[in-house]
Amino acid sequence: MASVHPKPSRSLTRQVIASINTGSLGVAIGFAITAAALLNPFFITPFEVLLGRTLFLSMFLLLVFVASQRLPENRLPAWLPRWLFAVIAVGLAAPLGTLLIYIVAVGGRVSDVFGSSPRVTGFVITAGTALVLGLLITLTAQLREREARARSQALEFELERSRLEKLALDAQLDLLQAQIEPHFLFNTLANVQALVESNSPRAAGVLQSLIAYLRAAMPRLQEREPTLGAELTLVVAYLELMQMRMPDRLRFVIDVPTALHGQRFPAMALLTLVENAVRHGIDPSEVGGTIQVGARLAPEALHLWVHDDGVGMAEHAVPGMGLANLRARLAAFFEPAAQLQLQQAQPVEQRESQRGLHAEIIIPTASTP
């Protein structure tokens, strides 16, 4: 994967120059004037010269600071946090910059700087002041930058939250629109008609299932807290209707502990997966298969699954609105940590061609009070 390395888009120098703004320039000049005023009583050097030196020093420190902030992440050793790197850089730059000024002042010979004790005192005082003020400003600047970053992160988070809310709202709206496919309804009605005409005793039960399904699938506004138990009633009603239609091809097993029935659960979430299993797994298969609906409460998460051993999902199978919509509804109902995972079911030995689909909803326990 490492074959493609992004190259830095601009040179560091250009980036550093570009990121010096009037604000930081102002602080640096203020720093220089303050330092010059502070140092004036201790020096016989005229104030203008002193100010020139502190100005040079402050500009130098500013450049070092900005460079330390803009150095690309991959050139910084992993063990060294950026703030510490900036402190060390400025800490080293303060005496170095001062030394540079003194060397220039005495005409280029280092021995001349340290040969005279007043110069050494001057050097120490200047460097010390630069160090103290430089570090103070470095730390303050970093603190402010961190705050700004936190603010922008909070803003980004807020944006993401409102985006999710919009998605959830869209999903809810979609849910309110026609849920019942005419194809499903008319085919089911044709079967009910057949049962009624043949005076089958099964007709009453099947009608019951159809009513339960229609009532649940009808567009509706807020009603009492939806539960997993209610969802299972809907799933069973749907599966019974489908089994009436394809008795030789569809079998189903529901295995959800009764203790979980009271769990709050978004309406239609399991049904969407079961309908998907019928549409993409069982219905296209001549031999059909078994749909297993199950749930298990693990210490860290609630797992719910719909498993089929039908033909499985083709790579080009258009998933329909249902699945994408379900992801949004899960994220809205629980929290974004709730997941929907689809995987190929392990192939059954005798029927190598039928691989089936395993769809699992995982809800972290923290979001299921």
Q: How far is the CB of 31 from other proteins (least distance, A)?
A: 32
Binding mask 195-234 for other proteins (x = CB under 8 A): x-xx------------------------------------
31 vs 55: CA distance, rounded Å: 8
Q: Taking a C-beta distance cutoff of 8 angstroms, is the pair 293, 356 a contact?
A: no
Exposed, middle or buried: residue 74 (CB in 10 Å: 0-12, 13-18, 19+)? exposed
What SS3 class is residue 80?
coil
Q: How far is CA 117 from CA 40, 121, 124, in A?
A: 18, 6, 10
User: Which residues ranging from 284 to 343 are in contact with other proteins (CB under 8 A)?
Assistant: 284-286, 313-319, 323-324, 339, 341-343
* Nearer to other proteins (CB atom), residue 42 or residue 186: 186
Enter the tokens of residue 28. Answer: 């640096």
- Closest distance of CB 327 from other proteins, Å: 8
Q: Which of residues 147-176 bind other proteins (CB under 8 A)?
A: 156, 160
Rounded to whole angstroms, the Cα distance separating 227 from 250 reads 26
Q: What is the dihedral of CA 18, 22, 24, 29, to 10 degrees?
A: 120
What are the residues whose beta carbons fall under 8 Å from the beta carbon of 230, sequence distance 6 or more? 216, 265, 267
Report whether 206 contacts 192 (CB < 8 A): yes
Six-digit token string for 366: 């923290």
Residue whose CB is less far from other proteins, 188 or 263: 188
For other proteins, the binding residue among 112, 170, 283, 335 (CB under 8 A) is 283
**Of the ranges 6-14, 27-35, 42-50, 133-141, which one interacts with other proteins (CB under 8 A)?**
6-14
Nearest approach, Cβ of 123 to other proteins (angstroms)?
Answer: 42
Q: Does 77 bind other proteins (CB under 8 A)?
A: no
Q: Which 230-249 residues touch other proteins, going by CB under 8 A? A: 244-249
From residue 176 to residue 195, the character string flagging contacts with other proteins as x (rule: CB under 8 A) and all else as - is ------xx-xxx-xxx-xxx
| Binding-site ranges for other proteins (CB under 8 A) | 1-7, 9-10, 156, 160, 182-183, 185-187, 189-191, 193-195, 197-198, 244-249, 283-286, 313-319, 323-324, 339, 341-344, 357-358
